[in-house]
Amino acid sequence: MEQLKQAILKQAGESWVDLIGFAARDRFDALEGAANPFSLFPEGKTVIMVGRRITRGALRGVEEGTNLADYSMFGQSWLNDTFLSQSTFDLVHCLERAGWDAMPVVPGKPSPGVDFAYAAVACGLAEIGLDGQVLTPRFGPRQRWHMILTDAPLASDPLLDRTVCDQCGQCVDLCPLGALDRQSSTTRLICGKTFTVAAINHELCKKCPNGVLGPADSLGQPDRTAMFCSRTCIEHLNEQGLVENRFKQPLRKRPAWRQDADGRPLPALDGAGKPVQD
């Protein structure tokens, strides 16, 4: 089986996969019902999580407020439906050439209830940040995921041995709509790892005008990767050196635009998160 795993990893490299991790079935014992990916393929033995980066350039126009459309393609539809789908297909092909079933699973409506965030942690690739987003040491919140379920019994990868979120609280403190509440945080336990997650008012997020909201995930929660909260997190992680894909220049080059729930302008924020007065 180690030979097969190496063949999959080689194919992943050739198919521009940025993140790949393996978790055997026992890592999902705590997940009940539809949340457990093996509910889709009861004879499956292994989950493989496959991720590709959301390029930071795709967020540039959103951060500036000058071009919100390109993110919808390069950061959402094309990335998910074309680039990542091709990578996932290549890996499915690789497994099937070796004689194993391989079921591709995409997030959202095709896989209602499946907990992709749990799977990313179980595969040793990620953690859950204070803002509830899946964070990886390479990209923070900047990636999209597909999943492959296979009946090949592949060994689990080690769980992540470091943290990404430093609990800075900027995502909570600077949310223009006050949708995150640190006082009502909950603790999430996944494969023995515990994460503190602020309470999130998803209904407020669904009408948030501060970015480009993506399609709902398999749990029905909105994708906030290009929203003000996540862009603030991306900037913080880059500035503090907490991600590996680090940039020489900041994402936030000037006071960041913000709007209230009705789309009215709020005071922009400088790099330190302080309102800038006209």
Q: How far apart, in Å, are the Cα atoms of 126 and each of 23, 104, 119, 121? A: 13, 20, 9, 5
Q: Are 265 and 240 spatial neighbours (Cβ–Cβ below 8 Å)? A: no
List Cβ neighbours of 123 (8 Å cut-off, separation of 6 or more): 21, 22, 23, 47, 48, 49, 156, 157
Please state, in angstroms and rounded to a whole number, the distance separating the CA atoms of residues 198 and 187.
Answer: 9
Show contacts with ligand SF4 in window 185-224 (CB under 6 A).
Answer: 204-205, 208, 210, 224
List 11, 170, 218, 238, residue binding ligand SF4 (CB under 6 A): 170
Which of 18, 127, 131, 223: binder of ligand SF4 (CB under 6 A)?
131
Q: How far is the CB of 88 from ligand SF4 (least distance, A)?
A: 27
* One of 122, 171, 219, 251 touching ligand SF4 (CB under 6 A): 171
Considering only 94, 180, 219, 251, the residue that binds ligand SF4 (CB under 6 A) is 180
Only segment of 18-26, 44-52, 60-68, 165-173 that touches ligand SF4 (CB under 6 A)? 165-173
**Nearer to ligand SF4 (CB atom), residue 84 or residue 180:** 180
Q: Where are the alpha helices (DSSP H) in the chain?
A: 2-14, 57-64, 69-70, 78, 84-97, 116-122, 170-174, 202-206, 228-239
- The minimum distance between CB 204 and ligand SF4, in angstroms, equals 5
Residue 249 CA to residue 251 CA, distance in Å, equals: 7
Q: Any contact of residue 227 with ligand SF4 (CB under 6 A)? A: yes
Q: How many CA atoms lie within 13 A of 158 on its CB side?
A: 3
Which residue's CB is nearer to ligand SF4, number 106 or number 135?
Answer: 135
Q: Is residue 134 near ligand SF4 by the rule CB under 6 A?
A: no
Backbone angles phi, psi at 106, to 5 degrees: -105, 150
Annotate 134-172 with DSSP letters as a single string.
EEBTTTBT-EEEEEEEESS-PPPPPPP-S-------HHH
The stretch near ligand SF4 (CB under 6 A) out of 26-34, 150-158, 187-195, 232-240 is 232-240
The C-alpha angle 17, 22, 27, rounded to 5 degrees, equals 145
CB of 111 to ligand SF4, least distance (A): 23
Q: Does 137 bind ligand SF4 (CB under 6 A)?
A: no
Which one of residues 8, 106, 114, 229 is an interface residue with ligand SF4 (CB under 6 A)?
229
Give the interface size with ligand SF4 as a residue count (CB under 6 A). Answer: 27
Residues near ligand SF4, by CB under 6 A: 129-131, 165-171, 175-177, 179-180, 204-205, 208, 210, 224, 227-229, 232-233, 236-237
